[in-house]
Amino acid sequence: MTRRRSSAASTCSFSSACYTGSSDEDPVSPREKKQRNTTGFTDFCVKNISSQHSFGRREIEIAEKEMPGILALRKRASDDKPLRNAQIVGCTHINAQTAVLIETLVELGATVRWAACNIYSTQNAVAAALAEAGIPIFAWRGETEEDFWWCLDKCAHSDNWNPNMILDDGGDATHLMWKKYPIIFKGIKGIVEESVTGVHRLYQLVKIGKLTVPAINVNDSVTKARFDNYYNSKDSILDSLKRSTDIMFAGKQVVICGYGDVGKGCAQSLRGQGCVVYVTEIDPICALQASMDGFRVVRLNEIIRQVDIVVTATGNKNVITRDHMDRMKSGCIVCNMGHSNSEIDVNSLHSPELSWLRVRSQVDHIIWPDGRTIILLAEGRLVNLSCSTIPSFVVSVTAAAQALALIELYNAPTGRYKSDVYLLPKKMDEYVASLHLPILDAHLTELTDEQAKYLGLNKAGPFKPNYYRY
């Protein structure tokens, strides 16, 4: 254990040492350091490039082995360079899987500048590896809010470089460009957004007539929603809870707030571990789905005193209020699986009568005057990317969809897309899925000419109409 803590792994934000210790704490802000990579490149700001980049490169190589779709796309399109002269500002989680996407975009001809969309999810060694590769990246684990906007601004605006594409996760890059650099924003050819929060913000801009560029909503593409949102959440909710708290799940009572694709994945996974799972919902269709899947649909106030774990997955704000937390049992674990950090009213916990005790990285005990304690993970931010790793395979699905959406918007002829929000074309969704079938040894059945004519389909697809619900 001593040897591991002194290795490069101990400074990486996704090693177990980092989750259970304080090795990612550094009193010196990266903004105060003068760093350069081995070629003299300095246009980046990461935690520590010299000691971390080789470890981060190994992690990227490991992720590549589980990301067949995005690598197949890279190989097929690298000669054509469909993103030649594209200048992409990116604001996503920065981890090994995202690094594979970033390097694919560069391989396809783009220049990029990248920041993190979450102050706790950056894998420092991976960020260092990207900086060593000469990619302008501004991110480190544990940024302050002021650091976050500084990093994003460094990506959005640089001497002799203006973005013409945005790849966003949460809408922050879009919001910054729209508010602070409106002239540059008018020159954007397209926006690709992958989160429910960011999509909501785009539709708000459309509603008030302020969206002046076309955008593709990747979050609601079939491949993102049905695979990344569901299977990623199903896999990583257990990993994040186990790593951060060492909890045994069997017999625990859990409430999942929200039964969308993320909530469904969490609920199914926790029930499979022997938990008693409750669901809260505002949507009668989702509530009926939960009921018929065997979950009891309740109001939060009915069970808040008895549950051992609370998981939010709604994309809403103040789903868990101070009143709820005042009534939770001692030892209750509270975490968020939605993109935004607004679902749990964390600000209300910063009050004089409550004490905060950091017991592990991203694990805080909030102590009431009577000694009762709740366990808050990642300060209410996305728990699976703050307290654990995520499965590379399903991220490959989303990454391939993002890359195709960027290629589509960048190369679209004038007039194809108006200043509105679009879904990924069905044909592209099917293509993304097909890229991932060979590694699973899956063999598609082909329609005969007679069958295709009977169904009114092209033998090559698309196979479902846009209104089809998978």
470: confidence class by pLDDT, cuts 50, 70, 90: confident
Q: Tens of pLDDT along 269-292?
A: 999 999 999 999 999 999 999 999
Q: Rounded mean pLDDT of 227-240?
A: 93
In this prediction, residue 26 carries a pLDDT of: 63
> Residue 21: pLDDT above 60?
no
Q: Which pLDDT value is given to residue 189?
A: 96
Residue in 118, 124, 196 with CA at minimum distance from that of residue 380: 118
pLDDT of 13 strictly over 70: no
Percent of the chain with pLDDT over 90: 86
Report whether pLDDT(5) > 90: no
Confidence bin at 468 (pLDDT 50/70/90): confident
Q: Is the pLDDT of residue 112 over 70?
A: yes
pLDDT tens digits, one per residue of 47-57? 999 989 999 99
Mean pLDDT estimate for the chain? 92
Q: Is residue 260 marked as binding?
A: yes
264 in a labelled binding site: yes
Q: Is 262 annotated as a binding residue?
A: yes
CA 362, CA 358: separation in Å to the nearest integer? 8
Does the pLDDT at position 25 exceed 70?
no
Is 224 labelled a binding residue? no
**313-361: pLDDT as tens digits:** 998 999 999 999 999 999 999 999 987 789 999 999 999 999 999 999 8
Which DSSP string corresponds to 72-127? HHHHHHTTT-TTTT-EEEEEE--SHHHHHHHHHHHHTT-EEEEEESSTT---HHHH
Q: Poorest-confidence range of 20-24, 40-44, 197-201, 461-465?
A: 20-24
| Closest C-alpha among 219, 261, 12, 39 to residue 126 | 12
Put the strands of the sheet holding 215-217 in their side by side order.
137-138, 111-116, 87-92, 165-168, 190-193, 215-217, 421-423
Contact between 378 and 237 (Cβ < 8 Å): no
H or E element at residue 168: strand 165-168
pLDDT band at 265 (very low <50, low <70, confident <90, very high): very high
> How far is Cα 346 from Cα 43, in angstroms, rounded to an integer?
35
- Whether residue 294 is annotated as binding a ligand: the answer is no
Q: How far apart are CA 372 and CA 128, in angstroms?
A: 41
Q: Is 384 annotated as a binding residue?
A: yes
Instruction: Just give the CATH number of 235-386.
Output: 3.40.50.720
Rounded CA gap, 20 and 249, in Å?
Answer: 19
- Cα(265)–Cα(289) distance, rounded to whole angstroms? 13
* Number of Cα atoms under 13 Å in the Cβ half of residue 330: 7
DSSP readout, 8-77?
GGGGSTTSHHHHHSSTT--SS-GGG-----TT-----B-S-HHHHHHHHHHHHHHHHTT-HHHHHHHHHH
SS3 461: coil
Task: Report pTM.
Answer: 0.87
What the block records as the tokens of 244 is: 């951060």
* For range 142-149, the mean pLDDT: 95
What are the backbone angles phi and psi of residue 118, rounded to the nearest 5°?
-140, 130
User: In the block, which residue shows the tokens 């246009």?
Assistant: 43
The pLDDT assigned to 389 comes to: 87
263 is in an annotated binding site: yes
Question: How many other CB atoms are found less than 10 A from the CB of residue 372?
Answer: 16
Span 391-447, pLDDT tens digits: 999 999 999 999 999 999 999 998 999 999 999 989 999 999 999 999 999 999 999
265 annotated binding-site participant: yes
Position 8 scores a pLDDT of: 37
Identify the H or E element spanning 235: helix 233-245
Domain boundaries of the chain, sorted by first residue: 235-386
Query: What mean pLDDT do residues 26-46 have?
Result: 92
Rg (CA), the chain: 22
